[in-house]
Structure 1
Amino acid sequence: MNKSLFVLSVSAMVIAGLLTGWPQAAEHQHHEHGEDHVHQMNSDADAEPDKTSADDAHAAHQHDAEADASNAKDDPSDWGIAQGEAATRRHIEQGLKAGDIDPVTGLEILYYHDPMVPGRQFDAPGKSPFMDMMLVPMYADSGRDKGTVMISPRIQQNLGIRFATVQRGDMNTEITAVGSVAWNERKREVLQARANGFVEKLHVRAELDHVKKGEALFELYVPDWIAVQEDYLLLLRMNGDGLDALRAAAKQRMRQAGMNDEQITAVTTTKKVLSRVTVRAPISGVITALNVREGSTVMTGMPLLTINALSPVWIEAEVPESKAVQLKVGTTATIQHGGQTSTGPVKELLPQVNAMTRTQKARVEIDNRDHQFVPGMFVTVSMPGTTVRDALYVPSEAVIYTGKRQLVLVKTEEDAFRPVIVSTGIEQNGNTQIISGLREQQQIVRSGQFLIESEASLRGLLARLEPAETASDNAALSAPETYDTMAEIKAIHEDRLTLRHGEIPALGWPAMTMDFELSPKVDTTRLNSGDRIHLQFVLQDEGAPKIVTIHRLNTSESTP
């Protein structure tokens, strides 16, 4: 019997003695003052049964007190960290360890752990090797469903756990992506030299100069054109039969020399040789390439300059490959930049995926008549995706991504929490479609679930949901020590994340921004820059720490 039971038993004995002693003392006083000596002897004889009754009452009260003490067990599910530390200190004093029965709770001690580093388990009570605190005991609970986690309402409130209900309705997805403005390749004109000559005068001086259709660009002196023009003019001055065929042949020679119909018409009208030709802009736009200067010698076929139109332009949106399948060519996209908005059709989905970013380009064409969007500018592109009718959906923050599958924590009728494997679909306005695993109106955990997830991992619930691993896989996964922290995503790369994390006392790390390598099993398709996450990682002998699990947090949960 421990100290607590002993104190309760002694108290019960005192109470029982008082309850039985007062009537007996009163009766003895009455006989002493109200009866004679003869009756006193009879009273003494009659007192023997009363004494026996008092002893029986005392024993009964003692038994009831011991029974009440044995039934008044503490419920460890109501404990906070402070109560858990106090229990560990008591276990040290009483010599208890994992596998023993705690007399205060009446439950078996499974192991001890640090709540801040839940992945490590210890057989003996003591101080945490990670934090400046005591380890906390974890108890077995044979009266509860082994597939659930029980957390008291008080602790739920302290942890800020919030709930949601599985809903049903239509989901219209909208895909938002980052895009950039690009030149419309179909509105590009490249001017080439059609004959050998010299640039005598250049009217444009630099690249990115604006030009209008018909504006003079440069003047060329073309010696090869003089002879063919003189032959043609000679035929024009001649009179006689059969000259039409000769004049047509002369025109053809001028075309072969590089003269266009407009220039030939000018020679015919003026009856003068054009030794110099003025080249004019075929379209309005911007000079994107200028390859000649005044006095330059040009050769036939040489590109002289390039003009690109500013209306229309292309918007090339980088769409994650997992969402690209939802896009439809011809739908209207909305382009936004600095308060400016424009719309245009999705012209095509380019048949190539960027190997580094795992994105596919969607090409949108906008009119851009006022030239508010210029090539190279970054914009936000919103495009309609697919529509799912009568879909089940939950808040996206309620879905836990383990790398292998998706989980949702369901609240049972007994106010416990059960991890359920779900199959997810599209995402819209902070909601994720549930294809299988949940029913309408089920109550689920919306925020704070990563704390329950850690508890479920400790109890082995999540492990029972995963398929069996090979021995080599288990050895590889269990060997490294796991650490966890919360962080903000600064950049997403193909094989790593750049994170801003808070202090990690277990490693003595201050808050900093650094790269974390991604395990192949970690799914990052639903993550974006700026998201806050809870992650578990392991240290490697070489290279950056490796992330093994990720959970996206909402804004109400702890920040790093």
Structure 2
Amino acid sequence: MKRTHIAAAAVAAAALAAGGFFAGRHVGTTGQTQATGAPAAGQQGERKVLYWHDPMVPGPRFDKPGKSPFMDMQLVPVYADEQNDTAVKVSPGVQQNLGIRTATVTRTRAASSFDAVGTVQFDERLTEAVQTRVDGYVERLLVRAPMESVRRGQPLATIYAPGWLGPQNEYLALKRAGVADDLLAAARDRMRAMSIPDALLRQSEQAGTAQARFTVTAPVSGVVAELGVRDGVAVNPGMTLFRIAGLERVWAVAEVPEGQAVHLQRGQKVKAALQADASQAFEGELKEILPQVSASTRTVQARFQVANKAGRLTPGMLLRLQVAGPVRSRLVVPAEAVIRTGTRAVAIVRNANGTFEPREVGLGADLGDQLEVVQGLGEGDQVVASGQFLVDSEARLKSVLGGMAAAGQAVPAAGAPASQAQAQAPAAPGTFSAQGTVESVDPDGITISHGPVPELKWPAMTMGFSKPGPKAFPGLKAGDSIRFEFRKGGPMGWELVTVQPTGAGK
């Protein structure tokens, strides 16, 4: 019985061991499968390296990693997805040191406006002329100086008109004789035709004698813009004695550039402030755009009507006018975020991956601290508002160096011999290479006997090549064995790009 229990225990132990072995084998196989599958996945997600270069000398390219022959540093890979990328990467620390600050492109309802300087002038619609329609003379002048302020109804001068005595005496005689009313009415009409004031006729009726002196009063409040008489001066019908200019409203005439004048409309509101004191503000509106363009300044005169009830504005003053346009929805950015070179406008956009990219934008209305964007940006984009000049310079430098590198040749791994570098260097697109011997050197060209050029299906021949400049390849002489690159162009049809001696001359 005891042996039976021992045998059963042994069988159980063996089964347990076998189960553990197979379980461990299964787990190990699974883990191995996952381990071998990881590199495959990693290989699928790897970025393709085009070449290596030294960031401090980005022109030369290397086909293998290694130490830079120019600087004490390792070469840096350039990936396929960065080949045509003009974005600039700036570390957070450098951003803080440069003071780079971003702003968001937003949409808002705003009115386009522009500033102009206007000269205050009299509103000619408020000007009144004071005339007399009788022969006489100025007996007493009460307002004696031009530009003197007057009030409505204020006496201006006393006129003596002897020609009014006869009609008045005739009217008074008829009235004393008790004639019919129709005769008296006819006599009054005759005096009105002679411009005898009704007030003067009432004085004659009350005094019983004809009155030849009458007082001229101001028809409106304002200033005496024109004074045409003096004491004792004879007057005649139709003569202008005074010209009174009202000051309740004035004109502000501004020279508006032709490009901005096309957006002006009658009735546009304007805010005005004194050029000498900006704290004094006025309200007005655009009344007229004069149909005349100055040939010398290419400007249009716009006439704005400005309220002046307090009389603080006088002709000759300068007003700074802010003309507001129609209100509509606009996409705007801070004005400081746009770099304007005169031929283009550029904004530095911060991408989602943290890089910065210059983007050319189209601008609309100038809204003061903000600019309307009509092309190149979208709502919610992040643009650089401070330090953008440094980022733009870096992006343009990267673009130029990238173009130079694309036109250059790939350099073999660091440390490779120069001859190996030349042998491995593929010619740039549009450039062909060959070997030959210099026959003659002229100021504008070099004659070379070269071997076949398979790319152009040329056999071995002797031909002339243009030099890129009179001083190009100064050490070259007849008999030198050279390896050269050339391209289509130049006066001779083909132009040398590089020339490298490969052996001693004859």
> Which TM class, normalised by the smaller chain length?
0.5 to 0.7
* Structure 2 residue aligned with 1:372: 312
* Structure 1 residue aligned with 2:149: 210
- 1:104 aligned to which of 67, 70, 77: 70
Does the C-alpha gap of structure 1 residues 416 and 289 become closer, same or farther in structure 2, counting only changes over 3 Å? same
State whether structure 2 residue 334 is matched by structure 1 residue 395.
yes
Q: Find the residue that maps to 1:287 and give its secondary structure.
A: strand
State whether structure 2 residue 340 is matched by structure 1 residue 386.
no
State whether structure 2 residue 207 is matched by structure 1 residue 274.
no
State whether structure 2 residue 181 is matched by structure 1 residue 222.
no
Does the C-alpha gap of structure 1 residues 207 and 143 become closer, same or farther in structure 2, counting only changes over 3 Å? same
- 1:237 aligned to which of 176, 181, 186: 176
CA-CA distance at 1:270 after TM superposition: 3.0
State whether structure 2 residue 92 is matched by structure 1 residue 148.
no
Distance 1:351 1:222 in 2: 44
Distance 1:322 1:419 in 2: 29
* Structure 2 residue aligned with 1:75: 55
Distance 1:425 1:411 in 2: 22
Does the C-alpha gap of structure 1 residues 74 and 256 become closer, same or farther in structure 2, counting only changes over 3 Å? same
Distance 2:256 2:89 in 1: 41
Conserved 8 A contact 2:272-2:282: yes
Q: Which residues of 2 match residues 341-420 of structure 1 at below 5 A?
A: 341-346=280-285, 348-352=287-291, 355=294, 356=297, 358=299, 361=302, 363-368=304-309, 370-382=310-322, 384-389=324-329, 391-412=330-351, 417-420=356-359
Distance 1:178 1:245 in 2: 63
User: Does 194-203 or 372-381 show the bigger shift?
Assistant: 372-381
State whether structure 2 residue 186 is matched by structure 1 residue 249.
yes
Distance 2:266 2:362 in 1: 28
- 1:263 aligned to which of 183, 200, 213: 200
Q: Find the residue that maps to 2:231 and give its secondary structure.
A: coil
Distance 2:131 2:393 in 1: 69
* Structure 2 residue aligned with 1:305: 242
Does the C-alpha gap of structure 1 residues 444 and 236 become closer, same or farther in structure 2, counting only changes over 3 Å? same
State whether structure 2 residue 222 is matched by structure 1 residue 285.
yes
Conserved 8 A contact 1:229-1:273: yes
Q: For structure 1, which runs of at least 5 residues remain unmatched after alignment?
A: 1-70, 79-97, 107-139, 465-560
Distance 1:439 1:77 in 2: 36
- 1:23-62 Cα offsets, whole Å, 9 max, x none, are xxxxxxxxxxxxxxxxxxxxxxxxxxxxxxxxxxxxxxxx
CA-CA distance at 1:290 after TM superposition: 0.7
User: Does 290-299 or 177-186 show the bigger shift?
Assistant: 177-186
Conserved 8 A contact 1:187-1:308: yes
Distance 1:155 1:394 in 2: 24
Q: Find the residue that maps to 1:171 and give its secondary structure.
A: strand
Does the C-alpha gap of structure 1 residues 320 and 156 become closer, same or farther in structure 2, counting only changes over 3 Å? farther
* Structure 1 residue aligned with 2:478: none
- 1:439-496 Cα offsets, whole Å, 9 max, x none, are 22222232444555566667788xx9xxxxxxxxxxxxxxxxxxxxxxxxxxxxxxxx
Higher RCO, Cα 8 Å, sep 6+: 2
Conserved 8 A contact 2:107-2:332: yes
Conserved 8 A contact 2:105-2:383: yes
CA-CA distance at 1:219 after TM superposition: 1.4
Does the C-alpha gap of structure 1 residues 429 and 336 become closer, same or farther in structure 2, counting only changes over 3 Å? same
Distance 2:130 2:110 in 1: 51
User: Does 203-212 or 437-446 show the bigger shift?
Assistant: 437-446
* Structure 1 residue aligned with 2:382: 443
CA-CA distance at 1:430 after TM superposition: 1.0
State whether structure 2 residue 131 is matched by structure 1 residue 192.
yes
Conserved 8 A contact 1:326-1:386: no
- 1:298-329 Cα offsets, whole Å, 9 max, x none, are 23212111112232444456666655666676
Distance 1:152 1:178 in 2: 45
Distance 1:425 1:409 in 2: 18
**RMSD (Å), alpha carbons:** 4.1
- 1:92-138 Cα offsets, whole Å, 9 max, x none, are xxxxxx999994279xxxxxxxxxxxxxxxxxxxxxxxxxxxxxxxx
Distance 1:448 1:182 in 2: 46
* Structure 1 residue aligned with 2:370: 431
- 1:303-361 Cα offsets, whole Å, 9 max, x none, are 11111223244445666665566667657654434364455352624344663263552
Distance 2:237 2:211 in 1: 18
Does the C-alpha gap of structure 1 residues 201 and 147 become closer, same or farther in structure 2, counting only changes over 3 Å? farther
Q: Find the residue that maps to 1:201 and give its secondary structure.
A: strand
Distance 2:102 2:301 in 1: 36
Amino acid at match of 1:75: P
Normalised to the residue count of structure 1, the TM-score between the two structures is 0.51
Count, aligned residues: 337
Conserved 8 A contact 1:225-1:275: yes
Distance 1:188 1:264 in 2: 28
Does the C-alpha gap of structure 1 residues 455 and 255 become closer, same or farther in structure 2, counting only changes over 3 Å? farther
Distance 1:351 1:282 in 2: 29
Structure showing greater Rg: 2
Conserved 8 A contact 1:183-1:313: yes
Amino acid at match of 2:162: P
Conserved 8 A contact 2:286-2:302: no
Conserved 8 A contact 2:338-2:346: yes
* Structure 1 residue aligned with 2:473: none
More strand by share: 2
Distance 1:77 1:291 in 2: 85
Q: For structure 2, which runs of at least 5 residues remain unmatched after alignment?
A: 1-50, 63-67, 73-77, 404-506
Q: Which residues of 2 match residues 32-51 of structure 1 at below 5 A?
A: none
CA-CA distance at 1:191 after TM superposition: 0.8
CA-CA distance at 1:251 after TM superposition: 2.3
CA-CA distance at 1:203 after TM superposition: 0.9
Conserved 8 A contact 1:319-1:362: no
Q: Find the residue that maps to 1:218 and give its secondary structure.
A: strand
* Structure 1 residue aligned with 2:427: none
Distance 1:190 1:457 in 2: 69
* Structure 2 residue aligned with 1:178: 117
Identical residues among aligned pairs (%): 34
Conserved 8 A contact 1:193-1:302: yes
Conserved 8 A contact 1:396-1:431: yes
Q: Find the residue that maps to 1:248 and give its secondary structure.
A: helix
